[in-house]
Structure 1
Amino acid sequence: MHPLKRISLSLVLATAFATACGDDGSDTDNSSTGGPITATNATATDTPTTADPTADPTNGATTNDPSTTNDPTDPTGDPNDPFVFDETPPEQLVQLDRMGMPAVATAVISKELKDNYNASTPSDDAASTFVPDIVMNLVGLHAALDDDLMTRKLVPCAKDTCVAQAAPLVVPDTLQIDISKQAGFPNGRRLTDPCVDITLAVVMLDLSAPGQTAATLADVPVNPPKNDKEFAPEFPYLAAPH
């Protein structure tokens, strides 16, 4: 295949799926929310008490043992714990974004529905709330990209075949893992998995065609095959930013 055609296909696919495997940015449209929403906790003020002048000042006295004193600014209650967790009750928070399978909210949910999608739940997905919109956008992707796939001697999937292949992955939009099976996307998601290339293959290619599998586009590859910096050997494993 001519190099210019290969570059053209890569650019078009990369544009359609702007969120790559290592960079799932928020798909939230905050224009209707006026920006980030934060929750605050009200703190009750203790009622002042009057000291009893007849009381024994040594009675009930306590010592300030650093090993037993909790830092009030540390919600974990353990000053030696390096991890600090927000304990704000869920009912005081507002859901602004969600991300299960990569590229679903990015590529196959229409802009005017993104806020509704991000505020919804997998139960809404299972009820097929967003299925018509997903199918419409899937058809649009094929209209734009099928000729490029065929130029590479690849066989695009027909609409019904694409929906049948993709539905178990994106409806509901959750990332699942079965610990009895081998790890690797879509069974979990390792940092090195070419998950966007795999997702693209499932929604764009006829996986029953000879020589075509979910790894076909990962073998091209459409997205960069590796990081420009190595992963760290310890948690959280991500490479340090430039």
Structure 2
Amino acid sequence: MKHKYALKIQYLGTTFSGSQIQPAQRTIQSEIEHAINILTKENNKTVFSGRTDAGVHALSQIVHFDTEQEINKRKFVYSLNALLPDEISVKGFAKVDEFFHSQKSARYRWYRYIINNTSHKSILLRNISLHIPEKLNVQEMHSALSYLNGHHDFSSFKSSNTDNPATHCNILYSSCRNFSGIIYIDLIANRFLYNMVRTITGTLIEIGGCKYTAEHMADVLEAKNRKCAGPTADARGLTLMSVGYDERYNLKEIMNTEAINEQNVLCKAS
């Protein structure tokens, strides 16, 4: 009898070649599968809620896998974390039904981009943020995001280095906030295109730096042309914060704690 389990994993992506398995590369998926297979003595394959690029982090990435075994939760998580490198941690574990799929069952993804907008670099934030010492106009950046809310063709913010023909997404919530010089750009959508968040961020940085006004974002969106958007922002500032699923999958016990604490963000997105 097959059993299906979901993991909530957290990782610092700085030293990895992305989340997805690649030949002769160190990836999050290869590390996770290696550790799981040692414990189950099977050839288990994992499915992630979505791929993250090299250098991108996750506070709450959801992964599922099938196994022939009935797993003891406490013992399995403890052993899994002992086998995984320091940059990866399993933060939650739950048994799910046969219909659950970490990618296809997801209702939304929440990404956050962090900019250190203080005059000095931060040692603690250096691997999870982009340092821009020149003051950015956060109010203008926040206003620019309003043009992206809702269902649109996001071709202008899609990397040209992808064969995926999809261009439409539904942004459920967006915000740009400044806390003591640290800027948080939050985007929640049903899905994201390849490099979409980082390209939106690159465009916002241009707007925040007064190269353009907030209305420029509307023009870029309407153009449906990648050349009209700003540069792709550095991967280090991007974190997958949370992935949302219907209540029927009973994943509340492994929900991202920060997501629960920021219910105002998720309520606006629902």
TM-score normalised by structure 1 residue count: 0.27
Structure holding more strand per residue = 2
Bigger CA radius of gyration? 1
